[in-house]
Amino acid sequence: LLMKLYLKRCQMHKSRDSIDKAQSFIETFTTEGYMDHSRVQGTEEMYSDIIKAACLANDEERALEILESMEMWYNIKPTAISYEPIVYNYSTVKGSRGVAQDILTMMLNQNVKISTNIVDTLVDGYLKPVEDSIEALDLAQELYNMHAVRPSPSKLLDILDISLRKKDIFEARRVV
């Protein structure tokens, strides 16, 4: 609990210094323990929180460095949980769909399975800034065909809603 609170504080400060301190705190906690607490096993969620904090601090290089070295430094194989903050940052926050696709390719090259959250995040990249329901649905269909992962029902409803608002009946039918 102490570690989770510390990581949330780090995410709120959104600074590189807070990321350094959080990473140091986790390393201390996982190697020596902390203030009469016994040593804990590092988890993917802990490092995913640091990756998220790095993205919030606009330090994407640091986020990628932590992601790429998780297995070597911490003996934790990244899954979709670790990739999600970076994909979200590029796809939804920054609107850099091409970079988000590159991260997806990197993920697939590492044999990491795509999750529904990753699909939702990539689809959001088309829905949030420009409401491009056609491209969003094409991407969702492509990811389903290639990886058998569907977007969440709420994301499909978002696509349907935008299609109907644009009076694009053909796309609305595709969603259903």
Tally: H helices and E strands in the chain: 10, 0
pLDDT at 1: 47
**Count of other CB atoms within 10 angstroms of residue 37:** 11
Q: Which of 61-70, 71-80, 141-150 tops mean pLDDT? A: 141-150
pLDDT at 38: 66
Q: Is the pLDDT at 106 greater than 90, yes or no?
A: yes
Q: Tokens 């990197």, residue? A: 106
Q: What is the mean pLDDT of residues 109-130?
A: 91
Q: Is the pLDDT at 129 greater than 80, yes or no?
A: no
Closest of 135, 112, 113, 116 to residue 125, by C-alpha:
135
Q: Is the pLDDT at 6 greater than 60, yes or no?
A: no
pLDDT at 89: 92
pLDDT at 40: 65
Go through the chain and tell me how many residues it has.
Answer: 176
How far apart are the C-alpha atoms of 77 and 43, rounded to whole Å? 10
Q: Is the pLDDT at 84 greater than 80, yes or no?
A: yes
Q: What is the mean pLDDT of residues 58-82?
A: 88
Q: Tell me the pLDDT band of 132, cut-offs 50, 70 and 90.
A: confident
Average pLDDT over the chain reads 84
Q: What is the mean pLDDT of residues 50-66?
A: 87
Q: Is the pLDDT at 3 greater than 70, yes or no?
A: no
Q: Evaluate whether 6 touches 34 at the Cβ level (below 8 Å).
A: no
How far apart are the C-alpha atoms of 110 and 113, rounded to whole Å? 9
Q: Is the pLDDT at 17 greater than 80, yes or no?
A: no
How far apart are the C-alpha atoms of 83 and 103, rounded to whole Å? 8
Phi, psi of 143 (to 5 degrees): -65, -35
Distances, alpha carbon 122 to alpha carbons 15, 21, 41, 95, in Å:
26, 31, 31, 10
